[in-house]
Amino acid sequence: MINTAINISKVSESKFTSIDLDNVTFGTIYTDHMFFCDFKDGEWQQPQITPYQPLQLDPSARVFHYGQAAFEGMKAYKDEHGDAWIFRPEENWKRINFSARRLAMPEVPEEVFMNGLKTLLEMDKQWIVPGKGNSLYIRPFLFATEAGVSAAPAAEYKFMIICTPVQAYYKGGEVKVKISDYFSRAANGGVGATKAAGNYAASFYPTNKVKEEGYQQIIWTNSTHEYLEEAGTMNVFFRIGDKLLTAPTDDRILDGVTRKSLIQLAKDEGIEVEVRKVSVKEVTEAARKGELKEVFGAGTAAVVVPITGVGYQDEHFDLPKLDNPYSTMLKEKLLNIQYNITEDKYNWTQKI
């Protein structure tokens, strides 16, 4: 039986008033408290909330050697009345457990995840700054802590939640992407559909390579480089004519919460959405004919990022500037739900 009563230790004085929130770089300042719950002796221990502080780990902790680590990304928003909201948290709980199963880690009980999340947000509620573009980014994560360098799943783990106040992920400027014709992010039967920490480590080198060519992100392709999959750390949408295309989720592609929300919103606006394999040939030929109207990324951190140009091998295609792009319309509709500006008929949001 899990003891879900949270043992709470509060800071003596909040650092909130000393932070210049108008000049915070994404993910560099953290709130006053953090949540954690340890797994050992085959069961979850009593959850705790303490002041945000460094961890002490054995150098042989298995996370360092065999990469048993997964994370989630969520956001909390504050409306004009001062009420705080979170967006589809059950999807993040389900997905971290999907990742945990694939990496042979114990699943986090729903009551541990949800109670920890909501209690932590209530304690650090002042860090959720009102105003569109402002939010509190929430990072739940799970990793192996047992000491030992034998190649086997660990017997001990730590589940944690930390929070950081953020503004827009991509501030101004153009976002251009390069379609990969060599690197692949994931493979069938692999861990591409999980938020395993190693997925992101492996993406940095190819991304740095395209940055040298003047692009901000890479569009990943499958192992044969025929089909388009994700854009950097985001799901990606393509508008050809008036039709919206995006790749299906499978072993390789993350089941993004923002992605599935945008698909629903687009369909409800009468936009034709096709969730299917999208080939490099189809998109590049559409670009050459002037039929590729929009490309945009979707994810929790970035929400919706319009892409201004796409590169492939030695070609580059600048996308047209539209008066009423799907990306802007869908982002506005999603943000209006998240900030409690319009009615949430989908029951996606939960009040803190």
In 3-state terms the chain splits into helix, strand, coil percentages (rounded to 5) of 25, 30, 45
Output 147-153 pairs: Cβ under 8 A, ≥24 positions apart: 147/58, 147/60, 147/61, 147/62, 148/60, 148/62, 149/60, 149/62, 149/65, 151/66, 153/62, 153/68, 153/104, 153/105
Q: What is the pLDDT of residues 207-262, one digit of tens each?
A: 999 999 999 999 999 999 999 999 888 999 999 999 999 999 988 888 999 999 99
Amino acid, single-letter form, for residue 223: S
pLDDT at res. 311: 96
For the chain, residues with pLDDT lower than 70 are 1, 168-173
What whole-number distance in Å separates Cα of residue 67 and Cα of residue 60?
12
pLDDT at res. 169: 60
Neighbours of 150 (CB within 10 A): 9
Superfamily of domain 176-338: D-amino Acid Aminotransferase, subunit A, domain 2 (3.20.10.10)
The model carries a pTM of 0.95
Domain ranges of the chain: 7-166, 176-338
Q: What is the pLDDT of residues 295-311, one digit of tens each?
A: 999 999 888 999 999 99
What whole-number distance in Å separates Cα of residue 181 and Cα of residue 304?
25
| 8 A C-beta contact, residue 262 and residue 304 | yes
Q: CATH topology of 7-166 equal to that of 176-338?
A: no
Pick the CATH number of 7-166 from 3.30.470.10, 3.30.200.20, 3.50.50.60, 3.30.565.10: 3.30.470.10
